Amino acid sequence: MASSPSSSAPFPDEPGSQHEHGSDLVHLSELLKRPVADRHGESLGRLSDVIARLRGHDYPLVSGLVVAVGGREVFVPVDQVRSFDADPLVLASARVNLRQFERRDGEVLLRSDVLGHRLIDVANARLVRASDVELRRENGRWLCHAIDTHRNRRFFGLFGARVEEHPNQDWRAFEPLIGHARSAALRGAVARVRGLKPAQIADLIEEASNEEGAELLHRVHQDPELEADVFEELDDDLQSRLLGARTNAEIADVLTRMRADDAADAIGELPQSRRQPILDLLPAGVRTKVITLMGFNPTSAGGLMGVEFVTVPADGTAATGLDAVRGATGLQPEALTSVYLVSRKGRLKGVIRLATLVQAEPAAPLRGLADTDPIRVHPDADITDVALLMADYNLLTLPVVDDHGRPLGVVTVDDVLEATLPEDWWRREPAPPHDIVGATNAADDDEGPDADTRATGAGGRTP
């Protein structure tokens, strides 16, 4: 069996490269371990894997087979297979390149990387397991077209055994967690997981294995702001473990982008020996906020509050208040539901709901729009008291003031929910939004495949 240069193999989509491929649809499970023979029928080995090349948002292109020949695995271009229906699989050539197969960047090994492994069901933000892959021939090229995420079960009845039938799902509905380091950059560049909400990504990471979680974080890492939002949503123990595996500089980089109250909680979960070095690496303004928050009991209003909120002079107008809101571009949306009036000495004089401010005439005095005797608490107030106050008075935010009545921070309703929900509630599987599938399908219909991400496939394995 002589070795032929793989560069001489024709491209799968070039004229003259087509052979008798048989049917236009085949399942991976039907191919694996099937015998492989040369064109004369002489046995070469068995099919070990199928190689597909990633192409952005488009279907991966099947580029070749991995065939176990003797004690090694070798590459066979897919266009050399006469038919996927035959058993054994018969090649169009009498020779194959016996050089040991090596996977390249952007390649997926369908058995090793996908079959039996978990994938991200993007539309439903959950992890599922692939039980089979459907290969389909289109325009003379084999594509990874669909994935079966159901475990095939065999039923027995009056008419004998039958296999449970269910529709396969479009490959593009999933993101495989491949784990191939050299291909990570290519996969991360088109990672649709970054379009999910931070809480959804955090749920995926919490459900994932260590290796799967590492790959998810790698994809998120390319968007530092999203990465910080995801860390805010992680379970405290997992957040601490994942941060603890990073260098002090890397931790500080994530914490700088987190809300100060969440960053303070995260530092508090780290080993004592690492806290001060990490604090020293934070920007001065962030460090001051974090140190202030770390001084409060975590089960108190001071431990719950965020320190970013909008204040305006009490003698201003509605236009003044709206200008302040427009300028607060770095604040979380929940911190902008109310604007706080302060005196010249910084004491809290009133609270105005943002809706009231928007509906008012620009020249209207703020004092006439505000609640001049707002509900407020001391930083030592207990979480339960804070929750009761916010429920009794229908508050979205609750200002926290010092002994002199100066605002220190704001507790938001989501902070209270997070602190008071029973621990076992956090372990419940969240119900998916009722319109998530419809919204995704509508987007697909409107936009279609991204033409910029399409690529033509290449046969052979030339460098």
Q: Whole-angstrom Cα distance, residue 91 to residue 95?
A: 9
Average pLDDT, the chain: 82
What does the pLDDT read at residue 387? 94
The CB density around residue 437, as the number of other CB atoms within 10 Å, is: 12
d(CA 450, CA 57): 7
Query: What does the pLDDT read at residue 426?
Result: 55
> From the CB of residue 210, how many other CB atoms can be counted at a distance below 10 Å?
8
Q: Report residue 94 as tokens.
A: 């009498």
Buried b (16+ CB within 10 A) or exposed e, 294-313: bebeeebbbbbbbbbbbbbe
Q: For the whole prediction, is pTM greater than 0.85?
A: no
Distant-in-sequence contacts of 66-72, Cβ < 8 A, 24+ apart: 66/101, 66/109, 67/36, 67/96, 69/1, 69/44, 69/45, 69/96, 69/98, 70/45, 72/98, 72/100, 72/101
Can you give the pLDDT at residue 18? 41
Tell me, what's the pLDDT at 127? 92
Look at the chain and count its residues: 463
What tens digit of pLDDT does each residue of 152-195 get?
544 444 445 454 555 789 998 898 887 665 555 555 545 678 88
Domains with residue ranges and CATH for the chain? 1-180 (2.30.30.240), 191-295 (1.25.60.10), 302-420 (3.10.580.10)
| Number of Cα atoms under 13 Å in the Cβ half of residue 205 | 30
Query: Alpha-carbon torsion 415, 417, 421, 424, what sign?
Result: negative
pLDDT tens, position by position, 298-320: 889 999 999 989 999 999 999 99
Residue 428: its pLDDT value, please?
56
Residue numbers of the chain with a pLDDT score lower than 70: 1-22, 94, 151-166, 179-191, 423-463
| Predicted pLDDT at 92 | 84
Distance (Å, whole) CA 320 – CA 193: 40
pLDDT value at residue 186: 53
- The pLDDT score that the predictor gives to residue 359 is 95
Q: At what angle do helices 383-392 and 413-420 cross, to 10 degrees?
A: 130
